[in-house]
Amino acid sequence: MERVAVYGQGGHSKVIQMMLNNGTDQQIGLIADDDQAKVNEQVAIKTVLATQLSDYHAEFDCIVIAIGNNETRKKIAEKYTDMRFATVIASIAVVAEDALIGEGTVVMANTVVHPNVQIGKHCIINTSAIVEHDCRIGDYSHISPAAVLTGNVKVGSNVHIGANATILPGITIGDYAVIGAGAVVTKDVAAGSVMAGNPARKIK
Protein backbone atom coordinates (compact mmCIF):
# COMPACT_ATOMS: atom_id res chain seq x y z
CA MET A 1 0.00 0.00 0.00
CA GLU A 2 1.50 3.31 -1.12
CA ARG A 3 1.25 6.09 1.46
CA VAL A 4 0.61 9.47 -0.17
CA ALA A 5 1.25 12.89 1.35
CA VAL A 6 -1.43 15.28 0.08
CA TYR A 7 -0.13 18.83 -0.38
CA GLY A 8 -2.96 21.35 0.08
CA GLN A 9 -6.31 21.46 1.85
CA GLY A 10 -8.66 23.23 -0.57
CA GLY A 11 -11.60 21.79 -2.49
CA HIS A 12 -9.38 20.02 -5.03
CA SER A 13 -7.51 18.38 -2.16
CA LYS A 14 -10.74 17.06 -0.65
CA VAL A 15 -11.61 15.36 -3.95
CA ILE A 16 -8.18 13.74 -4.12
CA GLN A 17 -8.50 12.62 -0.50
CA MET A 18 -11.82 10.98 -1.37
CA MET A 19 -10.19 9.21 -4.33
CA LEU A 20 -7.40 7.90 -2.10
CA ASN A 21 -9.87 6.75 0.54
CA ASN A 22 -11.85 4.83 -2.10
CA GLY A 23 -8.83 3.28 -3.78
CA THR A 24 -7.10 -0.01 -3.09
CA ASP A 25 -3.42 0.63 -3.81
CA GLN A 26 -2.90 4.01 -2.13
CA GLN A 27 -3.83 5.66 1.15
CA ILE A 28 -3.34 9.06 2.76
CA GLY A 29 -0.14 9.20 4.77
CA LEU A 30 -0.57 12.78 5.92
CA ILE A 31 -1.62 16.23 4.69
CA ALA A 32 0.71 19.20 4.28
CA ASP A 33 -0.18 22.85 3.86
CA ASP A 34 1.58 26.22 3.82
CA ASP A 35 -1.04 27.83 6.08
CA GLN A 36 -0.60 27.26 9.81
CA ALA A 37 -4.28 28.05 10.43
CA LYS A 38 -5.36 25.24 8.09
CA VAL A 39 -2.92 22.88 9.76
CA ASN A 40 -4.49 23.69 13.11
CA GLU A 41 -8.04 23.17 11.76
CA GLN A 42 -7.45 19.61 10.55
CA VAL A 43 -8.04 16.97 13.20
CA ALA A 44 -9.14 13.82 11.37
CA ILE A 45 -5.85 13.28 9.48
CA LYS A 46 -2.34 14.13 10.60
CA THR A 47 -1.50 17.53 9.09
CA VAL A 48 1.85 19.31 9.08
CA LEU A 49 3.32 22.47 7.65
CA ALA A 50 4.76 21.92 4.18
CA THR A 51 8.09 23.24 5.41
CA GLN A 52 8.20 20.25 7.78
CA LEU A 53 7.59 17.56 5.14
CA SER A 54 11.14 16.30 5.19
CA ASP A 55 10.87 15.74 8.96
CA TYR A 56 7.99 13.29 8.38
CA HIS A 57 9.39 11.44 5.40
CA ALA A 58 9.10 8.11 7.22
CA GLU A 59 5.30 8.51 7.22
CA PHE A 60 4.75 8.68 3.46
CA ASP A 61 6.18 7.19 0.26
CA CYS A 62 5.31 9.91 -2.22
CA ILE A 63 3.49 13.22 -2.58
CA VAL A 64 0.64 14.57 -4.71
CA ILE A 65 0.17 18.31 -5.13
CA ALA A 66 -3.55 18.81 -4.58
CA ILE A 67 -3.79 22.38 -5.87
CA GLY A 68 -5.80 23.36 -8.94
CA ASN A 69 -3.78 26.35 -10.14
CA ASN A 70 -1.28 25.22 -12.79
CA GLU A 71 1.45 27.72 -11.99
CA THR A 72 1.26 27.10 -8.24
CA ARG A 73 1.44 23.36 -8.82
CA LYS A 74 4.54 23.88 -10.98
CA LYS A 75 6.29 26.04 -8.39
CA ILE A 76 5.70 23.48 -5.65
CA ALA A 77 6.86 20.59 -7.84
CA GLU A 78 10.05 22.44 -8.70
CA LYS A 79 10.66 23.16 -5.02
CA TYR A 80 10.38 19.52 -3.94
CA THR A 81 12.58 17.86 -6.54
CA ASP A 82 13.91 15.48 -3.89
CA MET A 83 10.43 13.96 -3.41
CA ARG A 84 8.81 11.15 -5.38
CA PHE A 85 5.43 12.17 -6.79
CA ALA A 86 2.35 9.97 -6.86
CA THR A 87 0.11 9.47 -9.88
CA VAL A 88 -3.46 9.19 -8.59
CA ILE A 89 -6.17 7.61 -10.76
CA ALA A 90 -9.77 7.29 -9.57
CA SER A 91 -11.01 3.73 -9.24
CA ILE A 92 -13.91 4.53 -11.60
CA ALA A 93 -11.83 6.20 -14.32
CA VAL A 94 -11.33 4.28 -17.58
CA VAL A 95 -7.70 4.43 -18.69
CA ALA A 96 -6.26 2.49 -21.63
CA GLU A 97 -3.47 0.09 -20.76
CA ASP A 98 -1.04 1.79 -23.15
CA ALA A 99 -1.77 5.34 -21.98
CA LEU A 100 1.34 7.05 -20.55
CA ILE A 101 0.57 9.24 -17.54
CA GLY A 102 3.28 11.37 -15.92
CA GLU A 103 4.21 11.55 -12.27
CA GLY A 104 2.06 13.75 -10.07
CA THR A 105 -0.89 13.69 -12.48
CA VAL A 106 -4.41 13.16 -11.14
CA VAL A 107 -7.11 11.43 -13.22
CA MET A 108 -10.51 11.92 -11.62
CA ALA A 109 -13.74 9.95 -11.49
CA ASN A 110 -15.60 8.98 -14.68
CA THR A 111 -12.76 10.24 -16.86
CA VAL A 112 -11.98 8.28 -20.03
CA VAL A 113 -8.43 8.15 -21.39
CA HIS A 114 -8.25 6.21 -24.65
CA PRO A 115 -5.37 4.33 -26.34
CA ASN A 116 -2.05 5.88 -27.35
CA VAL A 117 -2.51 8.93 -25.13
CA GLN A 118 0.41 10.67 -23.45
CA ILE A 119 -0.19 12.96 -20.47
CA GLY A 120 2.64 14.93 -18.87
CA LYS A 121 3.52 15.38 -15.24
CA HIS A 122 1.43 17.19 -12.60
CA CYS A 123 -1.66 17.48 -14.81
CA ILE A 124 -5.29 17.39 -13.73
CA ILE A 125 -7.70 15.38 -15.87
CA ASN A 126 -10.87 16.38 -14.11
CA THR A 127 -14.20 14.66 -13.52
CA SER A 128 -15.85 13.14 -16.61
CA ALA A 129 -13.30 14.56 -19.04
CA ILE A 130 -12.68 12.57 -22.23
CA VAL A 131 -9.22 12.29 -23.75
CA GLU A 132 -9.58 10.47 -27.05
CA HIS A 133 -7.01 8.36 -28.87
CA ASP A 134 -3.58 9.73 -29.83
CA CYS A 135 -3.84 12.92 -27.77
CA ARG A 136 -0.78 14.55 -26.19
CA ILE A 137 -0.98 16.77 -23.10
CA GLY A 138 2.02 18.70 -21.77
CA ASP A 139 3.11 19.17 -18.16
CA TYR A 140 1.07 21.14 -15.57
CA SER A 141 -2.07 21.36 -17.72
CA HIS A 142 -5.64 21.15 -16.44
CA ILE A 143 -8.46 19.56 -18.42
CA SER A 144 -11.63 20.65 -16.60
CA PRO A 145 -14.77 18.61 -15.89
CA ALA A 146 -16.58 17.19 -18.95
CA ALA A 147 -14.11 18.72 -21.42
CA VAL A 148 -13.58 16.62 -24.54
CA LEU A 149 -10.32 16.28 -26.44
CA THR A 150 -11.23 14.47 -29.64
CA GLY A 151 -8.66 12.39 -31.50
CA ASN A 152 -5.05 13.49 -32.05
CA VAL A 153 -5.28 16.74 -30.11
CA LYS A 154 -1.99 18.23 -28.91
CA VAL A 155 -2.14 20.34 -25.75
CA GLY A 156 0.93 22.26 -24.57
CA SER A 157 2.20 22.81 -21.04
CA ASN A 158 0.45 24.99 -18.43
CA VAL A 159 -2.76 25.01 -20.46
CA HIS A 160 -6.21 25.39 -18.89
CA ILE A 161 -9.16 23.93 -20.78
CA GLY A 162 -12.49 24.95 -19.25
CA ALA A 163 -15.45 22.79 -18.30
CA ASN A 164 -17.47 21.34 -21.19
CA ALA A 165 -15.06 22.68 -23.80
CA THR A 166 -14.62 20.60 -26.96
CA ILE A 167 -11.37 20.48 -28.91
CA LEU A 168 -11.89 19.14 -32.45
CA PRO A 169 -9.62 16.48 -34.00
CA GLY A 170 -6.04 17.31 -34.87
CA ILE A 171 -5.99 20.70 -33.11
CA THR A 172 -2.81 22.00 -31.45
CA ILE A 173 -3.07 24.25 -28.38
CA GLY A 174 0.07 26.19 -27.43
CA ASP A 175 1.64 26.53 -24.01
CA TYR A 176 -0.13 28.72 -21.40
CA ALA A 177 -3.30 28.99 -23.49
CA VAL A 178 -6.69 29.25 -21.77
CA ILE A 179 -9.83 27.77 -23.33
CA GLY A 180 -13.08 29.08 -21.86
CA ALA A 181 -15.85 26.88 -20.50
CA GLY A 182 -18.11 25.53 -23.23
CA ALA A 183 -15.82 26.70 -26.05
CA VAL A 184 -15.62 24.70 -29.27
CA VAL A 185 -12.09 24.94 -30.66
CA THR A 186 -12.01 24.47 -34.42
CA LYS A 187 -8.51 25.71 -35.26
CA ASP A 188 -5.04 25.76 -33.73
CA VAL A 189 -4.51 28.01 -30.70
CA ALA A 190 -1.33 30.06 -30.31
CA ALA A 191 0.64 29.97 -27.07
CA GLY A 192 -0.70 32.32 -24.40
CA SER A 193 -4.03 32.92 -26.14
CA VAL A 194 -7.37 33.12 -24.34
CA MET A 195 -10.18 31.59 -26.40
CA ALA A 196 -13.94 31.51 -25.84
CA GLY A 197 -17.17 30.87 -27.69
CA ASN A 198 -18.55 28.56 -30.36
CA PRO A 199 -16.62 28.53 -32.53
CA ALA A 200 -13.85 29.68 -30.21
CA ARG A 201 -12.35 33.09 -30.93
CA LYS A 202 -9.38 34.85 -29.38
CA ILE A 203 -10.45 37.33 -26.70
CA LYS A 204 -7.01 38.19 -25.32
Q: Report pLDDT digits (tens) over 139-164.
A: 999 999 999 999 999 999 999 999 99
Cβ atoms of 48 and 40 within 8 Å: the answer is no
Cβ atoms of 70 and 155 within 8 Å: the answer is no
> How far apart, in whole angstroms, are the C-alpha atoms of residue 36 and residue 134?
43
Catalytic residue among 12, 57, 114, 133: 133
pLDDT of the residue at 43: 64
Task: Give the start-to-end residue ranges of the domains of the chain.
Answer: 2-79, 87-204
Residue 35 confidence (pLDDT) above 90: no
Catalytic status, residue 160:
no
| Rounded mean pLDDT, 111-122 | 98
Read off the pLDDT of residues 47-104 as tens digits, 9 standing for 90 and up. 888 888 888 888 899 999 999 999 999 999 999 888 899 999 999 999 999 999 999 9
By residue count, the chain amounts to 204
Q: Is 72 left (phi over 0), alpha (psi -120 to 50) or beta?
A: alpha
pLDDT of the residue at 113: 98
| Rounded mean pLDDT, 106-135 | 98
Under CATH, domain 2-79 is a member of which superfamily?
A: NAD(P)-binding Rossmann-like Domain (3.40.50.720)
Under CATH, domain 87-204 is a member of which superfamily?
A: Hexapeptide repeat proteins (2.160.10.10)
